[in-house]
């Protein structure tokens, strides 16, 4: 459960697409919009947990939550999935470009192939998913796009330069897309999460000690979970943010 109680009536029956919605922050965002009565579809590469999430949520949400298995590195597959979603559920009013992989990589070991694959996983699909969704948003009179960046590129973190490059790129892309799509009443904004403790983060990177160190740097001395990103995402997608575009919102408990 997201724990979000605020209701935005404009989301009822609205088409929402979340990438990387099968786990972590994306799953919380899927749930957040589904509990607003939106028609939520999500894309993920991971099948089992995504199917479980869609089935679990669909039991008590206004509209069934729909999962599309897509590898976002495949631009043709993105276009096909978006066409299917629009044909089935109608126009997409909100797009959350959330998917990424914060894989660590050794500076010396990075090849051209690895670099390109990393950018395809973390940056390229943000452009192409937005490009695929834009015509249906435009036809519906407007919409909102929220891209997921990270504070990681502000922190001099040496362990994943391809990832931090992509996350910095998401901000430049957000600005440019906001300028391009603004005349069509499509707003494009960006969220930079801080340390969000998810299953993947706990399994791969975080320890009790590293969590405590980060909390030390936060103004708000609490562990942040995926639901911390849901409220800001709903706000940016909502009519409350009707004049907000081309912006980056840091949600890190106050590190920056």
List 11, 15, 17, 20, residue binding ligand NAD (CB under 6 A): 20
Active site residue 114: no
Instruction: Count Cβ atoms within 10 A of the Cβ of residue 60 and give its class: 0-12 exposed, 13-18 middle, 19 or more buried.
Output: exposed
From candidates 118, 130, 150, 245, binder to ligand NAD by CB under 6 A: 150
36 touching ligand NAD, by CB under 6 A: no
Among 34, 38, 65, 72, binds ligand NAD (CB under 6 A): 72
Please choose, out of 2-10, 78-86, 129-137, 194-202, the segment that lies near ligand NAD by the rule CB under 6 A: 194-202
* By CB under 6 A, residue 32 contacts ligand NAD: no
Q: Which of 68, 150, 163, 250 is catalytic?
A: 163
Examine residue 44 and tell whether it contacts ligand NAD (CB under 6 A).
yes
In DSSP notation, 32-89 reads HHHTTT-EEEEEES-HHHHHHHHHHHHTSSSS--EEEE--TT-HHHHHHHHHHHHHHH
Q: In what order do the strands lie in the sheet with 39-44?
A: 66-69, 39-44, 15-19, 92-97, 143-148, 186-193, 248-251
Q: Is 73 in the site for ligand NAD (CB under 6 A)?
A: yes
Dig out the tokens for 85 from the structure: 């979603």
Q: How far is the CB of 141 from ligand NAD (least distance, A)?
A: 28
**Count of residues that bind ligand NAD according to CB under 6 A:** 29
Instruction: Please state, in angstroms and rounded to a whole number, the distance separating the CA atoms of residues 195 and 135.
Output: 35
Cβ neighbors of 42 (< 8 A, separation 6 or more) are 17, 18, 19, 20, 21, 22, 26, 30, 50, 54, 65, 66, 67, 68
Q: How far is Cα of residue 108 from the mean position of the Cα atoms in its chain?
A: 30
State the residue number with the nearest CB to ligand NAD.
Answer: 24
CB of 238 to ligand NAD, least distance (A): 20
Q: Which residue's CB is nearer to ligand NAD, number 18 or number 186?
A: 18
Closest CB 14 distance from ligand NAD, rounded Å: 22
Residue numbers at the binding site for ligand NAD (CB under 6 A): 20, 22-26, 43-46, 70-73, 98-102, 121, 148, 150, 152, 193, 195-196, 198, 200-201
């Amino acid at each position: 459960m997201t724990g979000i109680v605020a209701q935005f009536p404009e989301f009822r029956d609205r088409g929402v697409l979340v990438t990387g919605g099968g786990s972590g922050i994306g799953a919380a965002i899927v749930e957040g919009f589904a509990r607003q009565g939106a028609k939520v579809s999500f894309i993920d590469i991971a099948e089992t947990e995504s199917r479980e999430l869609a089935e679990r949520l669909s039991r008590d949400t206004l509209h069934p939550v729909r999962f599309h298995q897509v590898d976002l590195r495949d631009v043709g597959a993105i276009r096909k999935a978006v066409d299917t979603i629009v044909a089935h559920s109608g126009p997409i009013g909100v797009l959350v470009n959330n998917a990424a992989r914060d894989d660590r990589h050794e500076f010396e070991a990075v090849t051209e192939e690895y670099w390109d694959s990393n950018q395809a996983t973390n940056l390229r699909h943000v452009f192409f998913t937005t490009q695929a969704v834009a015509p249906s948003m435009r036809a519906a009179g407007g919409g909102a796009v929220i891209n997921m960046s990270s504070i990681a590129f502000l922190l001099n973190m040496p362990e994943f330069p391809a990832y931090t490059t992509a996350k910095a790129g998401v901000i430049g892309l957000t600005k440019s897309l906001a300028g391009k799509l603004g005349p069509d009443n499509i707003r494009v904004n960006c969220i930079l999460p801080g340390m969000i403790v998810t299953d993947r983060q706990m399994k791969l990177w975080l320890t009790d000690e590293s969590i405590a160190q980060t909390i030390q740097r936060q103004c708000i001395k609490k562990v942040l979970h995926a639901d911390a990103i849901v409220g800001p995402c709903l706000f940016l997608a909502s009519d409350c943010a009707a004049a907000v575009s081309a912006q980056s919102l840091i949600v890190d408990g106050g590190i920056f």
